[in-house]
Amino acid sequence: MVLLNRLERERSLSEAEYRTLIDSACPSLAEAAAEKARRVRHEHYGHTVFVRGLIEVSNICKNDCYYCGIRKSNAACERYRLDAEDILACCEEGYTLGFRTFVMQGGEDGFFTDERLCELVRRIKARFPDCAVTLSMGERSEESYRRLFEAGADRYLLRHETAESEHYARLHPPELTLTNRMRCLADLRRIGFQTGCGFMVGSPFQTTAALAKDLKFIEQFQPDMCGIGPFIPHKDTPFAAFAAGTLEMTCFLLSLVRLICPTVLLPSTTALGTIDPNGREKGILAGANVVMPNLSPLSVRKKYMLYDGKIATGDESAQSLAQLKQRMASIGYEITVDRGDVKKG
């Protein structure tokens, strides 16, 4: 409790202290962390939960990340790509439902050149000028990021996955490096994006030392958004036999991130709802303040399978927004569908 109290007060610990705190995780410490995290998020965001409309634009990817179900070597993956009109139709439906943030997420698909993606962003912003556009389209050049920002994109989410270089190398093929991932995040921040990073909890070969590095990196980087979810294996990857990360540790780390970055936009992910029917509610109670219902066409949702068992129908969908509102209300929170920009200071 001494370290947890100091983290609440100072927003900072040494890497060794983060490791000690993680190693000390237990139900009573986790509940104490969640109580502190809720108090901090209520101070800045009240009991509001921001909702983003997620559009999974493509499951085609040039990369071969060992943990990912849409890795290029997965011959069993049924590939798809939404065209511009499909994506705009998703936005139209979302806008009608009340969404004011659209998140375009996809594999690193070479079809989405700077020209095509910039034109798409411009069309979305022209049709829905009161909406924010978030991109999660992987590693690109600094010039590419700059062009996307100038086209009107507001936010960019790029999970760093792990801040420990040796661990990163065990999760990715040699052509993908932590150095380049960190370069991308630095470029995004410098250009002016609201920038998000994040990591998997319980990924293969992960140690508490690696998690401590993640927390220290987040403390130093101070992201506007931070995506944290449990690792869940996919049957068609080299990591199929590994166990999933746990709900308990994921929620504990969500609480710690809220204490480190009081105003961070912190999603309670679909992955939490995959490993526990009430997982997203538990994430909110641990200090998260964002959920991301799916606006993708029903015909492609089951094809964007990053991990086994991903929720692809039902109350993860934007069409079930009323049910999601009820679920959040049952734990004392209120859904809002405005832009939900990060608060500064």
Residue 211: CATH number of its domain: 3.20.20.70
**Does residue 99 form part of some domain?**
yes
Residue 345 lies in a domain: no
Tell whether 184 is covered by a domain.
yes
pLDDT averaged over every residue in the chain: 95
User: Which residues contact residue 241 at a Cβ distance below 8 angstroms, ignoring those fewer than 6 apart?
Assistant: 233
Whether 341 is in a domain gets the answer: no
pLDDT confidence band for 224 (50 / 70 / 90): very high
279 phi and psi angles, rounded to 5 deg = -60, -40
Residue 345: band (very low, low, confident or very high) from pLDDT cuts 50, 70, 90: low
Region 304-320: mean pLDDT is 70
Q: Are strands 334-336 and 194-201 parallel, antiparallel or unpaired?
A: unpaired
pLDDT at 117 over 70: yes
Give the range of the structural domain holding residue 295, as residue numbers without chain letter: 2-336
Predicted pLDDT of residue 64: 97
pTM of the model: 0.95
Mean pLDDT, rounded, for 70-95: 96
Domain presence at residue 342? no
**pLDDT-derived band of residue 298, with 50, 70 and 90 as boundaries?**
confident
Could you tell me which residue, 287 or 336, shows the higher pLDDT?
287
**Edge-to-edge, what's the strand order for the sheet holding 290-291?**
290-291, 48-51, 334-336
Long-range contacts of 216-221 (CB under 8 A, 24+ apart): 216/14, 216/15, 216/18, 216/163, 217/160, 217/163, 218/257, 218/260, 218/261, 219/11, 219/12, 219/13, 219/260, 219/261, 221/185, 221/189, 221/197
Tell me, what's the pLDDT at 210? 98
Among residues of the chain, what percentage have pLDDT more than 90? 90
- Concatenating the DSSP letter of every residue in 154-169 gives -EEE---B-S-HHHHH
Assess if residue 344 is contained within a domain: no
Q: Is pLDDT at 313 greater than 60 in this prediction?
A: no
List, in order, residues 6 or more apart from 150 with CB less than 8 Å away.
118
Q: Is residue 343 part of a domain?
A: no
User: Among 58, 80, 76, which Cα is nearest to 237's?
Assistant: 76
- Higher per-residue pLDDT: 315 or 151: 151
pLDDT grade, residue 314 (50/70/90)? very low
Asked if 288 and 328 touch (Cβ cutoff 8 Å), the reply is: no
| 19 assigned to some structural domain | yes
Tell me how far CA of residue 76 lies from CA of 79, 235, 287, 294, in angstroms: 9, 10, 37, 23
Give dist(CA 283, CA 12) in Å, integer. Answer: 22
Total structural domains within the chain: 1
Strand 132-136 to 155-157 pairing: parallel
The pair of structure tokens assigned to 10 is 């100072």
In this predicted structure, the answer to whether residue 171 has a pLDDT above a threshold of 60 is: yes
pLDDT in tens, 119-143: 999 999 999 999 999 999 999 999 9
The confidence band for 309, taking pLDDT boundaries of 50, 70 and 90, is: confident
Q: How many CB atoms lie within 10 A of CB 238?
A: 16
Task: Identify the burial level of 296 via C-beta atoms within 10 angstroms of its C-beta, where 0-12 means exposed, 13-18 middle and 19 or more buried.
Answer: buried
Query: Terminal CA-to-CA distance of the chain, rounded, Å?
Result: 26
Nearest C-alpha neighbor of 341 from the set 193, 125, 129: 193
- Quick one: average pLDDT of 297-301? 88
The closest of 164, 186, 203, 179 to 65, measured between CA atoms, is 203
Question: What band does 319 get if pLDDT is binned at 50, 70 and 90?
Answer: low
